[in-house]
Chains A and B, each alone.
Chain A
Amino acid sequence: MNIELIIGILNIVLISTTPLVFAGIGELVTEKSGVLNLGLEGLMLVGAVTGFITLVLTGNHFYSLFFSIISGVILSGIFAFLVLNLMTNQIATGLALTIFGIGLSAMLGKKFSGTPIEGLNPYYFITISFLLVFLVSYFLFKTKSGLIVRAVGENHNSAYALGYNVIKTRYMTIIFGGIMSSIAGFYISICYAPMWQEGMTAGRGWIALALVVFATWKPWRLLVGAYIFGGVAIMQMNLQAIGVKLPGQFFNMMPYLATIIVLVFISSNKLRLKLSAPASLNIPFEKNQ
């Protein structure tokens, strides 16, 4: 292998991993506040299709990004209303959001499938993704607002007793997660592909979810994990290029297999999981009125 090839591979890894970083860091903040949002895949798809359609209709990348983000705010806002105000089950609601997002994006995007667009340079977003990890880490561990987010995720009853608004904090983190997911979707359909195809996020939302656990809720580990996961996905192409004779399906399943192995490995150490997992994760908060 020569230097150019290695640089080429690294380049591809960089480009293909960025959506995992965006979606993962958003979900990390949401989960730090004690809410599990399984709707990432749906949020990403709707963000992707909204951005794509806006770009086709207006030709303006800024509007495209803006409406993509708006879609994330609306969908995650609905999710937040359901799980926080109506106290629905977070897992069921998140799954419903994913299924809804898959269907909605397919319907909206039907007419636009295959329409050529002018893509956006992915490197802006790659840079932003690194900056984002730094900012989120700083926010969570160095600011009082970040401390409040962690406190709410650790013990929402105590946080409420101390006078913090649990519901409001969780609205903010859920919507932040929604925005990050829709940006991840926007990146896929506008920068990475650039095109629209039904179900084009191809399970990245699920990988991002696994990534948060893999990172034991720590932003920098999430970045490292994202690149390991991204690397596994890219490895398939290169092994195929070298001529390793294995069916393509085998390589397609690699990221998921890696996810499962990592999850088993992580949860085998109960102690590590317990110390790092937000203690109120997935537990609905009920004010005792």
Chain B
Amino acid sequence: MQSIVEFQNIYKEYPGVVANNNVSFKILRQSIHAILGENGAGKSTLVKILYGHVKPDKGQILINSDLAIINSPTMAQSLGINMVFQHFSLFESLTVAENLILGMSEKISLGKLKLKSETICNKYGFNLNLNSPISSLSVGQRQSVEIVRSLLNNPKILIMDEPTSVLTPEEIIKLFKIIKKLVADGLTVIFISHKLEEIINLSDHVTIMRNGKVVSDLTTENENPESLGYKMLGYRVSKTKQTNNVNYSENVLSLNNISSYSQDPFTTNLNKINFNLKKGQIFGIAGVAGNGQKELMEILLNENDFEFSGDIIFKNININKLSTFQRKSLSISYVTEQRLGHSAVPEMSLSENILLSMSHKSDFKKGDFINFDRINSYANDVIKNFNVDTPSFNVKAGKLSGGNLQKFIIGREIMSNPELLILSQPTWGIDAGSEAFIKKSLIELSQRGVSIIIISHDLDELLEVCHNISVLYEGSLSKFLNVENIDITKLGKYMGGLFD
């Protein structure tokens, strides 16, 4: 078969990091070509170069064996290259129709657009209401809008950047069917992912990238998830599994009938959330982003006086009205989703970042003066105990890699001896080594009797670490499932809102 895209020695350097280091490989016409790699391996940079979004420092791209100059997304589109973005490029306050029109290079009347998009929707099984504003759509529907928008331009090559990261298992199956049909109809799909199973299931070829370089370029047929994982990481990751089966007795945290009533269409209101968390239990809250995770975290943290009804009981104390500071003093610790800017101040040193979260601890202060010796030694302990790769505690938090910073933040909270630890997306976007380390730390922590709540979109992570999992869907919480004998199809149904 003939190659439709050929990368030749693509080189792209950002300050301090080489994102693409002489990347060369071919993509065959009418195939599904996966690009596999960890976060930061350079996959996104490479496809952004193909899409004209980023300019390479060196190297060239051949399209149909001809040298192509792609300086802008418009030029890419005229060559038949379209892209479905990881973080959607939709306009929230505009309608579906307006978003579709914006994606088209040619001018088109509303009537014609309707006809054209309906043809595509019927052919591939999308379901779109052209008049609804994007802000009212679920994440899966938003992705459908993105895909239909790309298809309206009759592309030859479709790039999909981590398209499954926001979907439920059922939506993923549906998406894969669509992708296969598109390829059968003549399209070439470039599929970016760091999920091994998906790549095995879907792709014909896979190019594996690590630290900006291509480490393997192979047909998928003869591979399995383990072999791909080894090639992606360069080492084998030992998996820890939550085995400990505590005899739960003591209630640590109870949420009773928590509901919220915000008028803001950008928030998802919670609907009668109930759960009890026992001592030493790890409770996972799964679900696709935007189903109330942010709001639940708001209520647990109480940073913004988010209004709600119901009661939060921590060890027989009603903490509804307590501020974040007061809750921390009761030995509840938090790790929020946003590492830089929420959990840590990027411009401040690691020791200073210790103080910001631990100011309720009296031994960090002498009167109103800061006890720097104490803070520095605390920071040192965190760095040592949690394998944080940094020359010293004076380094600014923003200089650390995602994985190292996350280890530091989680270490900071764990070392304060909490009785309850609440985490949101603890391993999102970090390297596999740090991820394994964090999971191990959490399991050990629970075995010491600390209760943990993990809010995460990553099912695999929850299945590995948690004792119980519930699913949050449009603000309602499903019944909890025991991880030990979990029924995955049921979990999938819960994620799609089919509670029993």
Contacts and interface: CB of A to CB of B under 8 A. Distances in A.
Interface residues of A, number: 22
B103 interface: yes
Given A150-B94, A271-B263, A162 B54 contact: no
Interface string B39-62: 000000000100001110000000
A151 interface: yes
Interface stretch (B85-93, B306-314, B325-333): B85-93
15 contacts: A144-B107, A147-B94, A147-B98, A148-B102, A151-B91, A154-B92, A155-B90, A157-B89, A158-B88, A158-B91, A160-B73, A161-B53, A161-B85, A163-B76, A275-B265
A155 B94 CA distance: 11
Given A155-B92, A275-B93, A288-B53, 8 more contacts: A147-B101, A150-B94, A154-B91, A154-B92, A160-B73, A164-B102, A274-B264, A275-B265
B306 to A, nearest CB: 13
A159 to B, nearest CB: 8
A279 B101 CA distance: 20
Given A150-B94, A154-B93, A163-B105, A270 B264 contact: yes
Given A163-B72, A271-B263, A274-B266, A144 B101 contact: yes
B102 A147 contact: yes
B26 to A, nearest CB: 26
A163 B105 CA distance: 9
Contact of B264 (A144, A157, A271): A271
Nearest to B97: A147
Contacts of B220: none
A151 B54 contact: no
B296 interface: no
A173 to B, nearest CB: 17
A279 B264 contact: no
Interface in A141-180: 144, 147-148, 150-151, 154-155, 157-164
A163 to B, nearest CB: 4
Given A275-B265, A289-B55, A158 B89 contact: yes
Contacts of B88: 158
Given A148-B102, A151-B102, A154-B94, A161 B54 contact: no
A289 B101 contact: no
A151 B102 CA distance: 8
Interface residues of B, number: 28
A154 B88 CA distance: 13
Nearest to B135: A275
Query: What 9 A-B pairs come out closest when comparing CB atoms?
Result: A158-B89, A163-B73, A163-B74, A161-B89, A154-B91, A151-B102, A151-B91, A155-B91, A271-B264
Contact of A161 (B83, B93, B105): B83
B90 A158 contact: yes
B77 interface: yes
Interface string A264-283: 00000011001100010000
A274 B263 CA distance: 12
Nearest to B89: A158
Contact of B89 (A162, A270, A271, A288): A162
Contacts of B83: 161
B103 A162 contact: yes
Contacts of B107: 144
Contacts of A270: 264
Interface in B242-280: 263-266
Contacts of B93: 154, 275, 279
A23 B90 CA distance: 31
B166 to A, nearest CB: 16
B138 to A, nearest CB: 18
A150 B48 CA distance: 25
Given A147-B102, A162-B103, A163-B73, A279 B53 contact: no
A101 to B, nearest CB: 33
A9 to B, nearest CB: 39
Contacts of B263: 271
